[in-house]
């Protein structure tokens, strides 16, 4: 059977191409793809995605499958902190000679929300899991975009109006990938990362659900 293999970042450079087609025997599994490429020792932390979904090494392949080999995210950082955020720090973490573009997003606390005057926000997180989910988000983006590095920093605790609650920086060889991945990063982060926001306004407060 024939499968298409996609490679990213350092794996792409090692292979000399971002895509390879392999002929594999019936019953081959995702973990058989790396040896078939004959690129040397398998990197630690290598992940497999079959048809754009993460899959274990034991996943049985079918003819026509697309198998993406996803290296560990190189550089960048995934941080939950109670300290003020600096966009420049996130940009520095993703910058490099391979970057043709760096896209950024800064989320700030606004004064008016749902017709109410906001005094400040309070963020709470399951920090250890949140950082892990951020890293998984970056790996997922790397499966679908040609990226360099990703950095995501999120504030917890009290955040005043005008201050940054989240900063994201994404580097890539080309601007379309950097821009697309950066936008998807913030949209997905709001839906998946275990972070909660309480809006403190004149006369009361309210915990705001995911996606806000």
Residues 122-133: tens digit of each pLDDT: 998 878 788 888
Please check whether residues 97 and 185 belong to one and the same domain: yes
Please check whether residues 167 and 95 belong to one and the same domain: yes
Return the closest-CA partner of residue 168 out of 33, 76, 64: 76
Distance CA 68, CA 33 (A): 10
**Residue where a domain terminates, one of 35, 70, 105:** 70
Please check whether residues 9 and 86 belong to one and the same domain: no
Highest averaged pLDDT of the listed ranges 5-19, 88-102, 125-139: 88-102
**Residue where a domain terminates, one of 18, 44, 70:** 70
Per-residue tokens: 53: 């979904």
> What is the 8-class DSSP label of residue 37?
H
Please check whether residues 60 and 122 belong to one and the same domain: no
Give this prediction's pTM.
0.68
Residue 72 pLDDT > 90, yes or no? no
Domain count, the chain: 2
Please check whether residues 88 and 164 belong to one and the same domain: yes
Please check whether residues 196 and 114 belong to one and the same domain: yes
Distance CA 130, CA 152 (A): 11
Distance CA 68, CA 86 (A): 33
Distance CA 212, CA 208 (A): 7
Please check whether residues 103 and 154 belong to one and the same domain: yes
Distance CA 135, CA 150 (A): 9
Please check whether residues 85 and 127 belong to one and the same domain: yes
Distance CA 117, CA 163 (A): 16
Please check whether residues 88 and 184 belong to one and the same domain: yes
Please check whether residues 91 and 110 belong to one and the same domain: yes
- For residues 51-70, average pLDDT: 89
CATH code, 43: 3.10.20.30
Domain that holds residue 125: 78-208
Which pLDDT does position 75 carry in this prediction? 46
**Residue where a domain terminates, one of 70, 100, 123:** 70
Please check whether residues 25 and 91 belong to one and the same domain: no
CATH code, 145: 3.90.1170.40
H-state helical runs in the chain: 9-15, 33-37, 87-94, 127-144, 175-192
Q: Mean pLDDT, the chain, as a whole number?
A: 89
Neighbour-count burial for 119-133, b at 16+ CB within 10 Å, e otherwise: bebebebebeebbeb
pLDDT tens-digit map of 171-192: 999 999 999 999 999 999 988 8
Please check whether residues 98 and 60 belong to one and the same domain: no
Categorize the per-residue pLDDT at 76 as very low, low, confident or very high, splitting at 50, 70 and 90: low
């Amino acid at each position: 059977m024939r499968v298409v293999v996609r490679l990213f970042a350092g794996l792409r450079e090692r292979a000399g191409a971002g895509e390879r087609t392999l002929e594999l025997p019936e019953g081959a599994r995702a973990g058989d793809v790396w040896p078939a490429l004959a690129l040397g020792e398998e990197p630690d932390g290598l992940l497999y995605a079959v048809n754009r979904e993460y899959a274990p090494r034991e996943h049985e392949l079918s003819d026509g499958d697309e198998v993406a080999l996803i290296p560990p995210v190189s550089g960048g950082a995934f941080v939950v902190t109670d300290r003020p955020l600096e966009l420049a720090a996130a940009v520095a973490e993703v910058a490099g000679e391979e970057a043709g573009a760096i896209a950024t997003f800064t989320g700030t606390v606004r004064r008016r929300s749902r017709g109410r005057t906001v005094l400040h926000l309070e963020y709470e997180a399951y920090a250890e899991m949140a950082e892990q989910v951020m890293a998984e988000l970056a790996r997922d983006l790397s499966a679908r975009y040609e990226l360099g590095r990703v950095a995501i920093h999120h504030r917890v605790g009290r955040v005043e109006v005008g201050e940054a609650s989240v900063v994201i920086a994404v580097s890539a060889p080309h601007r379309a990938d950097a821009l697309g991945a950066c936008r998807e990063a913030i949209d997905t982060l709001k839906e998946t990362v275990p972070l909660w926001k309480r809006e403190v306004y004149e006369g009361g407060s309210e915990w705001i659900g995911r996606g806000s």
